[in-house]
Amino acid sequence: MDKIAILCSGGDVSGMNPALKRFVEYAYAKNMQPFFVYNGYEGLIDDKIHEAHYEDVAGIMTRGGTKIRSARSERFKESKYRALAAENLRQKGITKLVVLGGDGSFRGMERFHDETGIAFCGIPSTIDNDINGTDYCLGVDTALNVIKNAIDSIRDTASSFRRAFIIEIMGRNCGYLALVSAITSGAEMCLIPEIPIDIHEYKECFESQIRKGRDYFIAIVSEGLKNADDVAQWFEKDLGFESRVSVLGHIQRGGNPSVFDRLMAYQFVTHAIDALVTGNNNSIICYSKSHFNFKSITEVALHAYHLDEALLTLGREQFAPSHCQM
């Protein structure tokens, strides 16, 4: 019986537990013995590698995060620790590995494969949705729904007071979550790294809207800009609006996985295991244009991610000061 393992690396996302459930069940269906690696690449080094059984995944479908935990590993960057990780896998007869993570995790896995020959398939898993080559990463839909609920709740309070609420959204240097959330929540302002905007250009338009009855504002700001407090001060000093900053933070990474993320988890894992069974030993399973396809590490991890131009155009039309409705 072939032996196959799975690990989670980097930030957790809702959808990882459904992926673990599918991994165990589908591995058995393929007559393979599944293993869990606990604590990501750190677990490979520390030999936290254990057989997985049906009882290990019972009832985890509805849970956010990851039952086998995740980690970022500085030690895995050193060859001596990668050699130790490989020996731990060999001792258990494991020759195939599924990795849920981001481009940094995949770059580490490519080097590991080159050095050891251990086959792997990566599954893009980050709420930032900033991995080149795939339109969708596991966990994004759940994160967007968490953000939607938070913004909707904040809007209830904003509409009860004459205030501006500045809501900081995760995403590192990628504005995907912020832009989609701003468009779908009806925000009045969206600031992301991909669309440079001088907020002072909003003043004339917003003053006109205030004269015509607007009595609160919702501004969505990407965390990568690090300027939520500056935006709040601008609303107070330039528009005379009392302001509040809400940093959603890690609430965006947790929560009950959405139906879409559960389905994507199943499909990602199925394709990953099928790829390894058929000899595709070094690839990332990507999702683009509503289809799954395999890409090399070079295509995925060595090229910068760029937001879809159609989405950026929509954002510019919606939020650029020059398009602001007086």
Active-site annotation, residues: 128
Under 8 Å between Cβ of 52 and 22: no
In degrees rounded to 5, what are phi and psi of residue 150?
Answer: -65, -45
Residue by residue, DSSP assigns 68-80 as T-----SGGGSHH
Under 8 Å between Cβ of 174 and 306: no
Q: Tell me the three state secondary structure of residue 191.
A: strand
Under 8 Å between Cβ of 70 and 102: no
Pick from 187, 272, 276, 197: nearest CA to 230: 197
Under 8 Å between Cβ of 189 and 199: yes
Under 8 Å between Cβ of 137 and 128: yes
Which amino acid, residue 274?
D
3-state secondary structure 195-244: ECCCHHHHHHHHHHHHHCCCCCEEEEEEHHHCCHHHHHHHHHHHHCCEEE
